[in-house]
Amino acid sequence: MYKNSHATYPLPTHRLPTKRFSLSLLAGALLSAAFSLNALAETAYVTNEKDNTVSVIDLDSMQVVETIDVGLRPRGILLSSDNKLLYICASDSDRVQIIDLATRKIIKELPSGADPEQFALHHNDRWLYISNEDDALVTVVDVETSEVLAQIDVGVEPEGMGVSPDGKWAVNTSETSNMLHWIDTSTNTLVDNTLVDQRPRHVEFSKDSSLLWASAEIGGTVKIVDVATRDVTHTINFAIKGIHPDRIQPVGVKLSDDGRYAFVALGPANHVAVVDAKTYEVLDYILVGRRVWHMAFNTDQSKLLTTNGVSGDVSVIDVGSLKAVNTIKVGRYPWGVVVTP
C-alpha cells in the first residue's frame, strides 16, 4: 500500500511563480553587481585650458563620457585624499573651484590670489598651497573655512607647488628667479632657497619625503635635491636622437610608488623620459602626443596618462611595456590630469 510513498510528483502549480521570482531575484542581483562594478571603474579628469572645461574619461572604454564647465583657463588639478572632491585652478578667474565628484558640480570657490597656476594640498586635507604667478606669492587657504591663512613672498613668477608626504615642507618654484622656495608648513614662513636651472616648472617629492625632483623647462634638466640639506645632489640631462636640444623641455614629473621609475614629460619634444629612480640613468623615451605637459598614474600604476597640449589629447602608457598604447581626444590644450579609483 505504501510502495509509492517515495515516488516523485509534479510540483503544485501554485509554487511555480516562486521559482520564477527566484530567477528574477538572481537576474536582478547580477545586474546590480554589474552596475556596482561599473561604478567602480577608474575615471580620469583633465583640465582643458582653452575650452574652460574638464573632460571626464572612463578608463574602461577609454572615452570621454562627460564635460564639466569650469572657470577661465583651468590648469592645476588635484583630489582630496578620499577622492570625493576635485580642486581646479581657474587661473584667469583668480579662483580655486571645488567640484563634488558625486554630482560633478561646483560646490565652492576659494580665494586664491591672482593667477593661480599650480597648487598642492597638505595631507591634513585642509591647507591648500597656491602659487600666484602675477603677484610673486604663495597663498595658503583653509579649504574648510575659506580663510586665507598666509601669503608668503617668493621669487618672480611662481609656478610649481609641492607638499612633502610627511607634511613638513611646501616647495614653490619661481620661473624667473630659477629657485626652489622652502616653506615650513608649521609656521608658513619661507626658510630657504635652492638655485636650480632656468625656468623650474614642477616639483615632486619621493614617497618617503627624503628627495625632491625639480624640472627646469628651459634649462632642460631635472635636479635631485636632498630634502634634509636642501642641496642639489644629482642633475639629469636628456638627449633624443633627431630632436634639437632646445625642444627638450622637462615639465611634469611622476615617481612610481615602488621606487623603480621616474617619468619626465619633455614638452615640445613630444616624449616622456623613463628614468631609473635609483641610479638616475635615462632608460628610454616614449613617444606621446604634441607638447606633453603633465601626467597621472591610474590606481595600480599599471598605466600612466599624459596631457598633450597642442594635439589636444591624452596618451595612455602601459607601464609594464613602457609603450604608449592608446590616445584619447579631449578638449583644447589639456594641461593637468588626475585619476580616481
Backbone angles phi, psi at 14, to 5 degrees: -70, -10
Asked whether the beta carbons of 328 and 300 are under 8 A apart, the reply is: no
Give the residue among 264, 303, 281, 319 at the shortest CA–CA distance from 273. 264
Amino acid (one-letter) located at 144: E
Query: What global pTM score does this model have?
Result: 0.88
Task: Please give the grid coordinates belonging to residue 233.
Answer: 645632489
Distance separating alpha carbons of residues 197 and 19, to the nearest angstrom: 74
Task: Please give the grid coordinates belonging to residue 273.
Answer: 623620459
Distance separating alpha carbons of residues 254 and 262, to the nearest angstrom: 6
Residue 316 vs residues 19, 51, 126, 331: alpha-carbon distances, Å = 48, 22, 31, 16
* Count of beta carbons in the 10 Å neighbourhood of residue 161: 27
Residue with cell 598642492: 120
Give the residue among 49, 79, 84, 42 at the shortest CA–CA distance from 63. 42
Residue 41's pLDDT is 83
Could you report the average pLDDT of every consecutive run of 10 residues in the chain (341 residues)?
37 40 44 43 96 98 98 97 97 96 97 92 97 95 97 96 98 97 98 98 98 98 98 98 97 97 98 98 98 98 98 98 98 98 92
* Count of beta carbons in the 10 Å neighbourhood of residue 52: 19
Give the N- to C-terminal CA distance of the chain in Å, as an integer: 68
Residue 23's pLDDT is 43
Residue 213's pLDDT is 98
Q: What is the pLDDT of residues 6-31, one digit of tens each?
A: 333 343 343 434 444 344 444 444 44
Q: How many CA atoms lie within 13 A of 326 on its CB side?
A: 15
Residue with cell 641610479: 279
Residue 15's pLDDT is 40
Give the residue among 137, 78, 120, 294 at the shortest CA–CA distance from 205. 120
Distance separating alpha carbons of residues 236 and 107, to the nearest angstrom: 42
Q: What is the pLDDT of residues 107-135, one digit of tens each?
A: 999 999 888 999 999 999 999 999 999 99
Reported residue count of the chain is 341
Asked whether the beta carbons of 135 and 94 are under 8 A apart, the reply is: no
Distance separating alpha carbons of residues 267 and 295, to the nearest angstrom: 12
* Count of beta carbons in the 10 Å neighbourhood of residue 341: 10
Residue 40's pLDDT is 57
Distance separating alpha carbons of residues 216 and 200, to the nearest angstrom: 4
